[in-house]
Structure 1
Amino acid sequence: MAEQPTVAPAQPSPSADPEVGAVLDEAHVGDIVGALGTIRHHELPPSRSWAKRLLALLAIMGPGLIVMVGDNDAGGVATYAQAGQNYGTSLLWTLPVLVVVLMVAQEMVVRLGAVTGVGHGRLIKERFGSLWAWFSVVDLLILNFATLVTEFIGVDLSLSYFGVRPVVSVPIAALGLVAVTVTGSFRRWERFMYLLIVTSLVEFPLAFLAHPHWGAVARGLVVPGVAGGLTSTSVLFVIAIVGTTVAPWQLFFQQSNVVDKRITPRWLNYERADTFVGAVLTNVAAAAIVVAAAFAFAHTPEAGHFTSALGVARGLSHQLGQAAGALFAILLLDASILGAAAVTLSISYAVGDVMGLKHSLHRSWRDAKGFYSAFAAAVIVAAGVVLVPHAPLGLITEGVQALAGVLLPSAIVFLLLLCNDRAVLGPWVNPPWLNALATLIVGLLVVLSLLLMVTTAFPSIDVRITSAVLGGALLVGLGAGGLVSLRRRGQRPSIDRRDRARWRMPALALLDPPLASRGRRIGLVVLRAYILLAVALLAAKTVLVGIGH
C-alpha cells in the first residue's frame, strides 16, 4: 500500500490508496495504455534521461492533442474558411489570443481529471446538486447534438465534392464511427484518432498553394481589427470564431478522457505538455485555413461571398487548381469525422457521469451498454437530421459555433468554482494569478455576448461606442472584484503544496459539503437567466442573418 501523503490539516485525508481516490469506475484504474506506448500503474516519471521522458510523453499524449485538433471540426473548417474569404487576414489576431484561452481552460480540466479521477459532469452534480448538473449537461447535450449535426453536414459536403450522394456517404460515416468506438480498446480508438490528426495536416500544403504574402499574415496576427469595421454581423462572427476554437464540450471531453486514460497527478506535467502542443497546433492549423481562403479569393468576385464549405472547395479548385479543391474536401471530411468522434464521446462521458453508468473505452459493448448506446443513438439521430430534405444546413453550421461561444462563460464559471474548491483539489486549487486570468477571460466572453445581445435588440446602435461602454464596465467590475479578493485573501487558510504528486480527491461521500453562500446562489441564478436570454437573442440574430438581414 502506498505511503500516506502529508497535506495541510484543513484538507480531507486522502483515501487508503491515493492512486484510486474517488475513481467511480474500476476500468479507470491501471496501466496507461496509449496509442504510442504503455506506462505501468506504479511507474514513476523518469528524472534524468531525455529519451525516456520523450517516450513517456508519447505514451501520455492523446487527450490534449485530440481535444484540440478535434475542435478544428467541420464547423471550424467552415468558419475559418469564411473568415479568410469574407474578412481576409484581418481576424488572424484572434487565434494567438485563443491559444491563451484554450490553455487556461483546458489546464484546469486536466488538473481536475488527474487529481479527482472523476468526470466533469459528476463533479458538478456532487458539488452543485442535481439541478445544476442537469442544467449543464442539458446545455451540453443540446449544443453537442447540434454540433454533431454540423459534422455530418461536413461529411455530406466533402464527399459531394467527389460526387458521392449523402444517402451513401452519411450512413457509411455514421456506422464506421460507431464501429471504431465500440471495440472495447482504448488504444485502438486512440490510434484511429492519431490517424485522423495526421491526415488533418493537409491544411499546410493547402495554405502554401495559395501563395500567401507573409507580411500581411504577420500584420493580421498582431494588429487587431475587422475588415469592413465592427458591426453586429462581424460581432456574431467573432463569437463564432471563439465558439469554434474554445467549446464547452472540450471541458467535458478532456477531463473524462484524462480519467479514462488513467492519468494520475504524477503525470500531470506530461498531460499539460500534451495540451500545450495541441493548443498551438490547432491554432496554427486554423491560421493556415484562414490564409488559404484569404489569398485564394482575394481580388476575385468570390471575395466576401462565402456560401458553404462545398463552395469554398469548388472556389479553391477554380482559383488554385483541382489539387487545392481536393485537399480542402479531404480536410473537411477528416475534420468532420474527428470532430464527430470527440463530440459524441463527450456526450457519452457526460451521460455516464450524471446517470452513474459504466463509462470507459476500456470496456466492451456488453460491459457498458448504456455508455455505447448513448454514443450510437446520438450519431444515428444526427446523421438522420442531415438527410432531411431542405434542412437549413448552412444556418445550423454558423449558429452552432456562435451558440458555443455564448454558452462558454457559464461553463468556465463552473470550472473556476470547482478549481477553487479545496475539498475537491486540496493542494491543487488554482493559484491567485490563474483565477485573475480566468476571470478576465470570462469577462471578455460576457462582453462579447452582451454586445451581440445589444446589437440584436437595437440594430441601429453604434457598435464602437457600445463596445467602449461594455469594456469600461468590465474594467470597473474587474477592479472591484480584485479589491474584494485581496481583502478576503488573508482570511483563507494556507495551502500546503508539498507532496502534491500523490494527493488525490477522497471518495465523494467523504468530502466536506460545499460552501453554498447566498451570493453564490444568486450569482448562479443570474448567470442562468443571462445565458437563456443570450441564447434567445442569438437564435433571433442567426435567423435574421440567414434571411439576409
Structure 2
Amino acid sequence: MTETTLTHPTAPAQRSAVLDDAHVGDIRGALGTIKHDDTGERRGLSAKFKTLLAIVGPGLIVMVGDNDAGAFATYGQAGQNYGTQLLWTLLLLIPVLYVNQEMVLRLGAVTGVGHARLILERFGKFWGAFSVIDLFLLNALTLVTEFIGITMAADYLGLPKAASVILAAAIIIASAFTGSFRRFERIAVALCAASLLLVPLYFMLHPKTSQMAHDFVTPVIPGGSGELATVMLLIIGIVGTTVAPWQLFFQQSYVIDKRITPRFMKYEKADLWIGIAIVVIGAAALMGLVAAAFAGTKGFGNFDDTAGLITGISAKAGKVAGVLFAIALLDASIIGAFAVSLSTAYAIGDVFGMKHSLHRGVKGAKGFYAVYAGLVAAAATIVLIPGSPLGLLTQGVQTLAGVLLPSASVFLLLLCNDKQVLGPWVNGPKTNAFTAAVVGVLVSLSIILTASVLFPGISSNMILDIMAGCGVAGVLAAGYAFTRRRTATKEDPIDRTGRDSWRMPPLETLTRPVMSTGRKIGMGALRTYLLIAMVLVVIKIVQVALGN
C-alpha cells in the first residue's frame, strides 16, 4: 500500500518546521498503519479504503467531542422549549464547521506546528500569550461542565457522585498516559462509536420524521417578536457549542501528532466529513427525541437542566430510554474531556517548547502530561466541592466562548492567507469570502451575547439594533476590502503545483508579516473589544456569584 509523493521540480529540499521529533514517523492510527517511507500510489478501492481507515481520527474526534455535556444541555433546551423549530441552525452550521476545521487541518499537515505557536510567531507575544491564556481558562471551565454532565448521568444511574467523578477522571487520565498514540485513539474512536446510542434512542421516542425534515431546511424564529431576545440567545448558544475555540487548537495539533502530511489531505478531509455527519446526526437526533419526549407535557417550554431531560425521556419512553440517554451523556462528557484537555496540553507544549506527543511516555514528556492530568484533576475537584457555583460556571463557559470565538476565527483566516506559512496551500478567494462573512456573523453574535450578560433585560429592539449596526459595519468593511483589492497591484496567481510535498520551512527562517494600516486598525479594534468584553463579563459573573 504505497503512494507517490509529488515533488516540485525546482523546489529545494526543506528542513522540517516540526517542533517535536516524535511528530515524524509512521502513522499509527486506531484502524491502520502507514509506514513513513510508504510513498507509492494507492490504486484500487481497497487500497484507498485501508488508507482512509488509517487516517480516520482527528476529524472524527474533534467533531464528536463537540457534542459534549454542554451540547446536550443546549440542544436539549432547544428541543424542550421549541420542539424541532431550531433544527435549521444545524444545516447552516455544516459549511461553517467544514471550512473552519479544513483550514486548521491544512495548517497542521503543512506546517507541523500548533495553532498557538503559529499565532505567537506570526503576530507577536501579546496575541500568542492571549491565545494560550484564554484557551487555558476557557478549557478549564469547559472541563468542569464535562464533569457536571458525568455527575448528572451517574445520579440517574444510581452511582455515587464522588466515586463516579474520581473513576471518570482516572479513566480520562489513564487513557492518555499509555505512551501509545494508537491505544489512545482506539479508546477515543470507540467512545465516538458509542455516541451513536442517540440513534436507537431517537427511534424509541419516534418524533415525526416529516416535521424534522421540514424544520431542518426551513428557517424560522419560534415564539414571534416577543421571544426574539430569548431565541437569539439560544441560537447563539447553539453556535457557541457547535463551533468552539478549542476545536481549532485540538485538530491542528492532533493532525500533527498523528504525523499526517499534505499527501494525505484528501483522506483527512473525508475523515472530517465523517465527523461532521455524525455530529449533525447526533445533534438532530437529540433535539428531535427531546422534542418528542416533552411535546404536550407541562415540561414543554420549561427547560431546567440536563437531569430534567433524562427524567422527561424516562417518563415518556420508559426506564431503558432514560438509561440509554444517561449513558450517552456520560460518553459525550468523557469524549469532550479527552479533547479539551489535550488541546490545552498541546498548545502549552507548543508555545513553551516542551515535548508534547502521545507517542511519548510520561517520562519523555512530563510537562505535557502534567498539564493534561492537572486540568482533569482540578475540574473533577471543583465539581466535588460542596456549594460550587456549577450553574454559574456553565454560564461563564458559554459567554466566554462566545466572546473569544471571533478572535480565533480572525487568526485562522490570517494564517491561511500567509504565503510563508502555507505556500501553495493558502486560501483561495471563495474560501476567504465565505470565512470573512462567517467572522462578521460571529462578531455580531459575540457582541449580542456580551450585551445580554451585562444587561439581562435586553430587549428585542436592542438586539435588532446591534445586528443592524454590525451589518452596516460589515458592508463598509467589505466595500473597503473590495476597493483596496481593485486598486492594489495585481499579484501573480498562486502556483499550486507540487503542493503535496510542500512543507513550511522552520519558523526562524520566516520573516514577520507586514501589517497594512487597515489590518493594524482592525487588530487594534479587536484587541480593545476582547479586553473590555472579557473584563466586563468576568466582573458580571463575580457580581452574580457574590449576590448568590
1:530 corresponds in structure 2 to: 529
* 1:202 lines up with 2:197 in the alignment: yes
CA-to-aligned-CA distance 1:29-88 (integer Å, 9 cap, x gap): 011110000001132364430111011001001000000000101111121111101121
Select which of 304, 323, 326 maps to 2:323.
Answer: 326
Which amino acid letter does the alignment assign opposite residue 192 of structure 1?
Answer: I
Please list, as runs of the form range in 1=range in 2, the aligned pairs for 1:26-41 lying within 5 A after superposition.
26-41=21-36
In the TM superposition, what are the counterparts of 1:146-161 in structure 2 within 5 Å? 146-161=141-156
Q: CA deviation at 1:461?
A: 5.3
Shift of 1:398: 4.0
Q: Show the counterpart of 1:411.
A: 408
1:228-307 aligned at under 5 Å gives the runs 228-229=223-224, 230-307=227-304
Q: What does residue 141 of structure 1 align with?
A: 136
Aligned residue number for residue 106 of structure 2: 111
1:460 CA drift (Å): 3.7
Where does structure 2 lack aligned partners over 5 or more consecutive residues? none
Is 1:343 aligned to residue 343 of structure 2?
no
Distance 1:208 1:219, change over 3 A: same
CA distance, structure 2, for counterparts of residue 250 and residue 38 of structure 1: 25
Whole-angstrom CA distance in 2 between matches of 1:468 and 1:400: 23
**Within-5 A mapping of 1:6-155:** 6=9, 15-16=13-14, 21-44=16-39, 46-155=41-150
The letter for the 2-side match of 1:222 is V
- Work out whether residues 7 and 499 of structure 2, in 8 Å CA contact, stay in contact via their aligned partners in 1: no
For 2:298 and 2:538, the matched residues in 1 are separated by 30
Match of 2:363 in 1: 366
| CA distance 1:319–1:38, shift in 2 (3 Å) | same
Change (3 A) 1:49 1:262: same
| Structure 1, gaps ≥5 residues long | 8-12
What displacement does 1:118 show? 0.7
Counterparts of 2:188 and 2:488, CA distance in 1: 44
On the 8 A contact 1:86/1:305 being kept in 2, the answer is: yes
Deviation at 1:485, TM superposition (A): 5.2
Question: Which whole-Å deviations, capped at 9, do the CAs of 1:476-515 have from their partners, x for residues lacking one?
Answer: 2354145135326643343211010000001111112221
* CA root-mean-square deviation: 2.4
What percent of counterpart residues are identical?
53
Scaled by the length of structure 1, the TM-score of the pair is 0.93
Residue 422 of structure 1 aligns with which residue?
419
Residues 1:547 and 1:513: Cα distance change in structure 2 (over 3 Å):
closer
* Equivalent AA in structure 2 for residue 186 of structure 1: F
Q: C-alpha deviations, 1:429-463, integer Å up to 9, x for none?
A: 10011000000000111112223344554724515
Instruction: Sort the Cα spacing of 1:504 and 1:78 in 2 relative to 1 into closer, same or farther, 3 A.
Output: same
Q: Does 1:5 align with 2:35?
A: no
With 391-400 and 140-149 compared, the bigger mean Cα shift is at 391-400
Q: Is the 8 A contact 1:447 1:474 kept in 2?
A: no
Indicate how the Cα distance of structure 1 residues 179 and 501 shifts in structure 2: closer, same or farther if over 3 A, else same. Answer: same
Task: Work out which of the residue numbers 379, 393, 414 in structure 1 matches 2:376.
Answer: 379
Q: Measure how far apart 1:14 and its partner are.
A: 5.8
Equivalent residue pairs, number: 540
Amino acid at match of 2:209: W
Could you tell me whether the CA contact under 8 Å between 1:15 and 1:507 is conserved in 2?
no
C-alpha separation in 2, matches of 1:334 and 1:110: 25
Structure 1: distance between partners of 2:151 and 2:345: 24
Deviation at residue 206 of structure 1 after TM alignment: 1.2
Deviation at 1:119, TM superposition (A): 0.7
Structure-1 separation of matches of 2:204 and 2:133:
43
Distance in 1 separating the partners of 2:527 and 2:43 = 49
Partner of 2:433: 436
User: Equivalent of 2:169, from 166, 174, 182?
Assistant: 174
Q: Which amino acid aligns with 1:178?
A: I
Question: How far, CA to CA, are the matches of 1:226 and 1:312 in structure 2?
Answer: 23
Task: Tell me if 1:450 matches 2:453.
Answer: no
- Which portions of structure 1, spanning 4 or more consecutive aligned residues, are displaced by more than 6 angstroms? 540-548
Q: 2:198, 2:328 within 8 Å by CA — same for their partners in 1?
A: yes
- Describe the shift of the 1:333–1:506 C-alpha distance in structure 2 as closer, same or farther (beyond 3 A): same
Matched with 2:486 is 487
| Other structure's SS at 2:33 match | strand
Which among 209, 215, 221 is matched to residue 214 of structure 1?
209
* Equivalent-residue separation in structure 2 for 1:324 and 1:212 (angstroms): 14
Task: Give the SS at the match of 2:362.
Answer: coil
| Structure 1 letter corresponding to 2:496 | R
The structural deviation recorded for 1:234 is 2.4
Tell me, yes or no, if the aligned pair for 2:6 and 2:501 is still in contact at 8 Å. no
